[in-house]
Amino acid sequence: MILASFPSPDRSVWDLGPVPIRAYALCIIAGIVVAIWLGERRWMARGGKQGTVSDVAVWAVISGLIGGRLYHVITDNELYFREGRDPWRALYVWEGGLGIWGAIALGGVGAWWACRQRGIRLPPFADAVAPGIAVAQSIGRWGNYFNQELFGRPTDLPWAVEIDPDRPSTVAGQLTYHPTFLYESLWTMALAVVLLLVDRRYRLGRGRVFALYLMGYTAGRVWIELLRIDTANEILGTRINVWTSIVVFLGALAYFVLRRGPRETEVEPATVPAGTAASAAAAKPDADADAKAGVATKTDVDAKAGTGAATKTDVDAKAGTGAATGADAKADAGVATKTDAVTKTDAATGTDAATGTDADAGTDAAATTAPDVEPPAGAAATADGDAATAVDAETDADADVDAGTAEPAPGATVVAAAGRPAVAAPDEDGPAAEAPATGATAITEPTGTPGTPQSAGTAKPARRAGKAKRAGRR
């Protein structure tokens, strides 16, 4: 007599338009999400970085799903490859059929590879995620309930589950069975709580929490597996999953006993180790994005100086606006600029030498940078003591008039010596010229030690003054 039981769901798929929503898939996804959340909290509590568990879970989950399906298909191959069966149904993961041992084995390989890329050792990571894995299994088992699968022998216990008579593995005339999915769900949830409490009390490390999870799960899986009546391959009259559970339990027990020691104090390196794919992505400079966007970046001068590379300065940035700022920067820095000496006619500039332009000639001076170079003889001195400039330009009559200078005799250059009136030096073939018209501006030369900056308008050296005197006597 059936005193009590609970029914199975009448459907396991809901259609959302053209997209089918399967309860089995939702349970698996929900379990994964909770496992990642719990594992992330435990990993950070041990000193790990936020986001590490999520990154590793991507590889572990994908490889775990593949491994779980492979294990199921291999151990239950008669469901897909015997006569009258459809081999393509081996790919229908949504219909159920994931072997936990294949999922743990291949999922562990994926987790190991992902941890290795980040310089993380697998044992402390496995300890952090072990309780979350148990919770994920507890939630995922409810997918079997919606699919009406993996139930146990017929029973009339009050918690028996009702299974439709047309489902595979049912017994004729029986309607209620052991809800083995419920047994495993409760077992694994209790196991997760035990792992959390034991780890908090004894601060286990070096993979011993994960070993304890394996022992606890396999101990429950043995007796639950013995209740199931679904089709399975056997060895010596015992289901393969029972043998697998025994082997895994013994291996985990040996590891737990032999692998002793304190919990790890450092579980994740501060930086990603060089030579890994993760380090290559992290080492890529942000300047690449700026370069692709066409943005000119400002480079650290010290770093550039160490490699001998040319640096980009503020003056370069100003050049993009069309402003002639090169000479200003040089004058402010105390760097002397030089140009060719006077060509046809020496003309005094009527502008501030620091601007680097020739107002009288109406042209821009082309200057070549030469740090701490003394001015050549015959060059006009700058107004300040920081830089000396010489302007190479032809005289512009209109510019001379605007600057308040009188044009000298044709072919003559106006020179002056200290304390003497300005006279015109004749050409080689021409007669001596008289003093230039009143108001003429004379070009002066420095009188001190060569290389000493002088102000415009100071006396010329005696050598040039004597030359002008002899020219006047002729």
What is d(CA 396, CA 50) in angstroms, rounded to the nearest whole number? 73
Bridge partners for 11 per DSSP: none
Which H helix or E strand runs over 423?
A: strand 423-425
CA distances from 298 to 46, 293, 310 (A): 40, 15, 12
Axis-axis angle for helices 208-225, 122-140 (nearest 10): 30
Q: 295 exposed, middle or buried (CB, 10 Å; 0-12, 13-18, 19+)?
A: exposed
Which H helix or E strand runs over 424?
A: strand 423-425
**Other residues' Cβ atoms within 10 Å of the Cβ of residue 428:** 5
82 marked as binding residue: no
Tokens of 474: 């002729």
Local structure of residue 443 (DSSP, 8 states): B
Question: Can you spell out the DSSP letters for 193-259?
Answer: HHHHHHHHHH---TTHHHHHHHHHHHHHHHHHHTTB-S---EETTEEHHHHHHHHHHHHHHHHHHH-
Instruction: Summarize the chain as % helix, strand, coil (round to 5).
Output: 45, 10, 45
What is d(CA 21, CA 332) in angstroms, rounded to the nearest whole number? 74
Q: Cα–chain-centroid distance for residue 200?
A: 36
E-assigned strand segments in 25-162: 160-162
Half-sphere exposure of 403 (CA within 13 A, CB side): 23
Beta strand 160-162 pairing with 5-6: parallel
Give yes or no for a contact between 24 and 92, defined as CB atoms under 8 angstroms apart.
Answer: no
Report the binding-site residues: 141
